[in-house]
Structures are given as structure tokens and as C-alpha cells.
Structure 1
Amino acid sequence: MLRIISLPNLTVGGEFNYSDINATGRYGFGYYGGNGTQINPMTDFRQWWETGIDLKAQKADFFRTQSNATWNWLGGYTSNVPGNIVKPAYHDNIYWVRYKNYESDGRDRYFGNAFVNYKVGSFLNILGRVSKDDYNQVIEARYDVGSAGTPLYAKTLTNYSETNSRPVGQF
């Protein structure tokens, strides 16, 4: 708390906070992304994947072909060659999810308050406070062509603003 004026009967001050948070590649939450695409690969482990899935091979396949080369192709392994990678039946390669079906978000936020406290006498204190909370947020989701689900790009912009004021008399 910053006290700007501090006299025997009058105190003026406030607080101010600012945050600028940005991220790329956070995993989604929940079970599915709403279009059939797995948005959180952690839900695949031990529930849907067979236990012999080689994650190092999944990584090598993705970086070699830059495609969604996965273990459950829709159509068969023999037709899966660079330039003609078929769509997965149910589950995307986890590196495809990280580098092609990624989410990005950012929030620019400030909040704080200002107050005036006046001591009228030994029996009465009057306090007035104004608080403010504002943020702007962007969330982008991507599901690339070749994903198990329907390809899409979605962008959500959110603006929020709240102001509160409160006079208080203390006896």
C-alpha cells in the first residue's frame, strides 16, 4: 500500500497491480475439444493407447514428415507415406497436438484501489475507497488439417471492467 498523504487527520493512498501473461502450447482441459480432437494428450495414456506405443517413434515420425503420423491411422499403415499421410481414426500424434493443434492465450490486467481516510475526531473515522479491475484477454485455438477432428481456428476476445466504490463510517 502506498500512502501518498499522511497528515494527523487525513490519509490518502492506494495500490496498483499490473500483469501481462502470455502462453503458447498449453494443453486444453476436459476430455475433447468439441470437434472430436483430443486436446489433452494426458487423457490418452493408459485409457485409450495400447501400452506398446513408442513415444520416441511418434516424435521422430512427426519431425521427419511434419505430419500427423500416429499409431491409429484411418486407412492403414501402407498408404501412410510423406505427402499422403492419412487421417487418424481417433487419436492425434502428441507432437502434432503440441506443434499444430496448439492453444495460445494472453491476458493484460491491471487492478488496484485508491482511498481517503479522514479522522473527524476521536469518535468518528470516514473512509472512502474506489477499486478498479480491468483486463483484456485473447484465447486462440487451432486444429490443423489432418487432425482426427474437424479443422478449425477460433479466437475469443474478452474485455472485463469492474469499478467499486465504498464509503465507510467508523464509530
Structure 2
Amino acid sequence: MDTEKSYPPEQGYPPQQGYPPQQGYPPQQGYPPQQGYPPQQGYPPATAQYNPTAPTQTVIVRQTQSTQPNDYLAFAIFVTICCCLPLGIVAIVQATNVRSRFAAGDVAGAQEASRSAKCWSIAGLVTGIVLEVIGVIIIIIYVVFIVSVATSVADGLDGFDFDYYK
């Protein structure tokens, strides 16, 4: 079952020996001549043009040389890890905004982000401390309740004869 399939000729392939050139395509161009070799037929000799230009210098001048506002990043990370995760994450985002805005030249925006990072960090710290105090109070109330129930049960069993069931 040897059936030969006929494929259409591909564009860009050079003609093979024994086959006619492809119809409808322009002849393929060769490569430019290399040094030391004669130029190929059909090509003009290669000419190199060099246009030297003087290097230019670019000078960037900042109008105001101010220092970066405090970003409170360490404070925000501490609040995130130890106190209040949601408020700490917001504080970290604001702290990173301080650096990016200052790098972009927005000093006023960096100062605003600095104030915002400080406020979110303080809010997270206060929230964390309040929640810890409430948690300790709840634990104390729970322990006192358990101890009081245990002593009242023990007091109720004073008249019970444990040897009765032996």
C-alpha cells in the first residue's frame, strides 16, 4: 500500500536538483559577501557607513533634598505578629507606600502614608492589648467558676458513704 502523497511546494525553499523552480515566487536572495571573497552575482557590493555621534550626558537634578519620613515598618510587623493581624497588614501596606512614594518624588504622599502607617500600627497595638486583657479576664472568670463548682460538688458529697457499695 505505497501511495505517494503530493505536498504543495513551500515558499522560501531553494529549488532542488532535478526539480523545476517553484512557480509564482521571486528568486531567493543570497547572503552579502564576506571579506576576502568576491561578491555573488546579482548583488551590489556591500558598503558600510559609519556616522559617529558625540555621547550626550543627562543630568537629573532634584529640587528638594529631603529625608525620607519614618515608615514604621518594624512597628507594623511587630503589631502584625504579636497583636492584631488585620490591622497590622494594613499598617505594613501603608509602611511600604512610604518608601515607594518617596522614591517617586512624592514627599507629601510619603508623609501622609507615614502618618497612616503610624495610626494603623497604634490601632493594632491597642486592639491587641485590649483583646489580651479581655482574654485574661475571661480565663480568670472561667477558672473561678470551675473551682467554685468543684468545691460545691465536693461539699455535697461529704455525707455520702463511699464504702456502701463495697
TM-score (norm 2): 0.22
Higher-Rg structure is 2
Which has the larger share of strand?
1
Which has the larger share of helix?
2
TM-score (norm 1): 0.22
